[in-house]
């Protein structure tokens, strides 16, 4: 299947430029771009993401601060940590890992992260800026899907994109990024009628649903580019939303799971930390 997009190779290119940026900062005796990540409790997925961030930051010569609070931490305690990181001149990017324990107010925590350090675009001010077409930090998964599309297709002006999934961290921000590139964007969701017809008519399909292998070949047509954002566990394996083997036989380009969108997300998060360090 020669049409599987080599996302690792793309990520390597971005890693090189991040490393060069970090070296340049060092030469100029400026502070090292540093990401602080806050984990409350011990969610397994969040712990995995935290470890991956720490590994990638180290390999790129970036700074990394990990703060872990107990599961029973109060809202005030979490907000105090965020306030301290907001005020710390050696921290350029802040990420609070979600989901937070159920007793905490995630919206209040998101809104508390300083806009200029909100590298995952969770503060509504960044979301609003993105909506207005202004410069903003964008949720990294949406940024990753957008980056892959642009790297593979270049100019997407006038192309039709169907995004299946309307979450605040994937579908909606990705739609804004693609609209800014003058694509014609449709967002589909669980109430969309005739989904197969909708996806088959697009030039680009992004699946961000979280239902393993829901998208079989009947959803696609020749020449399409398919980005599979989904990550679910099925039979002990990480599985995407798209039945990759059979769909790859139909379309022009497709990402796999694993080694797809997730293979560039942390790198692009670090790119946002570098951007934040310029401010």
> Which residue ranges make up the site for ligand NDP (CB under 6 A)?
141, 164-167, 169-171, 188-192, 195, 208-211, 229-232, 261-262, 265
The minimum distance between CB 153 and ligand NDP, in angstroms, equals 19
Beta sheet of 34-40, edge-to-edge order: 63-69, 34-40, 93-96
The minimum distance between CB 261 and ligand NDP, in angstroms, equals 4
Task: Pick the closer one to ligand NDP by CB: 177 or 209.
Answer: 209
Task: Pick the closer one to ligand NDP by CB: 256 or 265.
Answer: 265
The minimum distance between CB 74 and ligand NDP, in angstroms, equals 26
Task: Pick the closer one to ligand NDP by CB: 90 or 216.
Answer: 216
Classify residue 92 by burial, with Cβ atoms within 10 Å: 0-12, 13-18, 19+: buried
Tokens of 158: 């006038």
Task: Pick the closer one to ligand NDP by CB: 150 or 211.
Answer: 211
The minimum distance between CB 117 and ligand NDP, in angstroms, equals 20
The minimum distance between CB 170 and ligand NDP, in angstroms, equals 4
Task: Pick the closer one to ligand NDP by CB: 86 or 232.
Answer: 232
Task: Pick the closer one to ligand NDP by CB: 63 or 212.
Answer: 212
The minimum distance between CB 133 and ligand NDP, in angstroms, equals 22
Task: Pick the closer one to ligand NDP by CB: 63 or 139.
Answer: 139
The minimum distance between CB 101 and ligand NDP, in angstroms, equals 18
Complete DSSP assignment for the chain: -TTB--HHHHHHHHHHHHHHHHHHHHHTTPPPPEEEEEEES--HHHHHHHHHHHHHHHHTT-EEEEEEE-TT--HHHHHHHHHHHHH-TT--EEEE-SSPPTTS-HHHHHHHS-GGG-TT--SHHHHHHHHHT------HHHHHHHHHHHHHHS--TT-EEEEE---TTTHHHHHHHHHHTT-EEEEE-TT-SSHHHHHHT-SEEEE-S--TT-B-GGG--TT-EEEE---EEETTEEE-SB-HHHHHTTSSEE--SSSSTHHHHHHHHHHHHHHHHT-
């Amino acid at each position: 299947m020669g049409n599987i997009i080599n996302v690792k190779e793309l990520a390597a290119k971005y890693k090189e430029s991040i490393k060069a940026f970090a070296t340049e900062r060092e030469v100029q005796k400026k502070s090292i771009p540093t990401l602080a990540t806050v984990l409350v409790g011990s969610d397994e997925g969040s712990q995995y993401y935290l470890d991956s961030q720490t590994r990638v930051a180290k390999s790129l010569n970036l700074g990394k601060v990990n703060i872990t609070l107990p599961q029973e931490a109060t809202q005030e305690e979490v907000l105090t940590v965020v306030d301290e990181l907001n005020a710390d001149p050696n921290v350029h990017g802040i990420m609070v890992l979600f989901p937070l324990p159920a007793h905490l107010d995630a919206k209040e925590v998101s809104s508390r992260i300083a806009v200029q350090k909100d590298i995952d675009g969770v503060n509504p001010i960044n979301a609003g800026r993105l909506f207005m077409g202004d410069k903003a930090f964008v949720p990294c998964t949406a940024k990753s899907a957008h980056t892959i599309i642009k790297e593979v297709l270049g100019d997407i002006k006038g192309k039709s994109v169907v995004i299946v999934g309307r979450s605040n961290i994937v579908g909606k921000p990705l739609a804004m990024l693609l609209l800014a590139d003058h694509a014609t964007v449709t967002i589909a969701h669980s109430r969309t009628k005739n989904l197969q017809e909708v996806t088959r008519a697009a030039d680009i399909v992004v699946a961000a649903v979280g239902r393993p292998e829901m998208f079989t070949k009947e959803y696609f047509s020749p020449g399409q580019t398919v980005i599979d954002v989904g990550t679910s566990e099925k039979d002990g394996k990480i599985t995407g939303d798209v039945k990759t083997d059979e769909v790859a036989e139909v379309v022009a380009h497709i990402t796999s799971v694993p080694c797809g969108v997730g293979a560039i997300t942390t790198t692009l998060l670090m790119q946002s930390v570098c951007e934040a360090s310029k401010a």
